[in-house]
A and B are shown apart, each in its own frame.
Chain A
Amino acid sequence: GENVEQHPSTLSVQEGDSAVIKCTYSDSASNYFPWYKQELGKGPQLIIDIRSNVGEKKDQRIAVTLNKTAKHFSLHITETQPEDSAVYFCAASEDDKIIFGKGTRLHILP
Chain B
Amino acid sequence: GAVVSQHPSWVICKSGTSVKIECRSLDFQATTMFWYRQFPKQSLMLMATSNEGSKATYEQGVEKDKFLINHASLTLSTLTVTSAHPEDSSFYICSARDWTQETQYFGPGTRLLVL
Contact = CB atoms under 8 A, between A and B. Distances in A.
B6 to A, nearest CB: 8
Given A43-B93, A96-B34, A36 B106 contact: yes
Interface string B36-48: 0000001111100
Interface residues of B, number: 23
Q: Most A CB atoms within 10 A — which of B43, B106, B107?
A: B43
A96 B106 contact: no
14 contacts: A42-B108, A43-B4, A43-B6, A43-B93, A43-B106, A45-B106, A46-B104, A96-B34, A96-B97, A96-B104, A97-B34, A97-B46, A98-B104, A100-B45
Interface in B63-86: none
A98 B43 contact: no
Contacts, number: 48
What is the interface residue range for chain A against chain B?
10 to 19
Interface of B: 1, 4, 6, 32, 34, 42-46, 49, 93, 95, 97, 102-109, 111
Given A41-B111, A42-B108, A49-B103, A98 B46 contact: yes
A74 to B, nearest CB: 18
B112 to A, nearest CB: 13
Q: Which 7 A-B pairs have the closest CB atoms?
A: A43-B106, A43-B109, A43-B108, A100-B43, A102-B43, A100-B44, A44-B106
Contacts of B49: 96-97
A44 B44 contact: yes
A99 B109 CA distance: 18
Given A43-B93, A49-B103, A96-B32, A89 B109 contact: no
